[in-house]
Amino acid sequence: MTSKTKGLIGKAILVIVTVVIVHVTWRKGYDSLEKRYVVGKVDRIIPAWGQDPKVEFSFTIYGNKHSELSPRSIYHPKKGQLYIVEVPIKDIKKSKILLDFPISDPIDSPWEGWEKIPEFIIEYNQ
């Protein structure tokens, strides 16, 4: 193995380790935030060339309507579908639509959201 190849492998490992550390740090911070759960609606799917499409979704909490973006991941939501949204109370911009928790019938979430995902929604999705 040449020294150039070893240098490239070393740089690749450094980048991977850095990405993992940043992700773990971000995840720890996100997980520590107080969250509420509300019902949200998919407004549109935004294609991202060369990347995973984004889901634009809207939800209402504390009487205020919000619109955010979240990765589509392995799911294939359609415009107008309803899902549970995880809302960090102190940083609403970090809200995520939980595409693994679809809701078939419209239901109203409390004004301040639920403290955890309701059991009837968890049971429906198992």
Q: Rounded CA gap, 37 and 112, in Å?
A: 9
Q: What is the pTM of this model?
A: 0.75
pLDDT tens track for 53-83 = 999 999 999 999 999 999 888 888 999 999 9
In DSSP terms, which residues pair with 58 in a beta bridge?
Answer: 41, 67
**Summary mean pLDDT of the chain:** 86
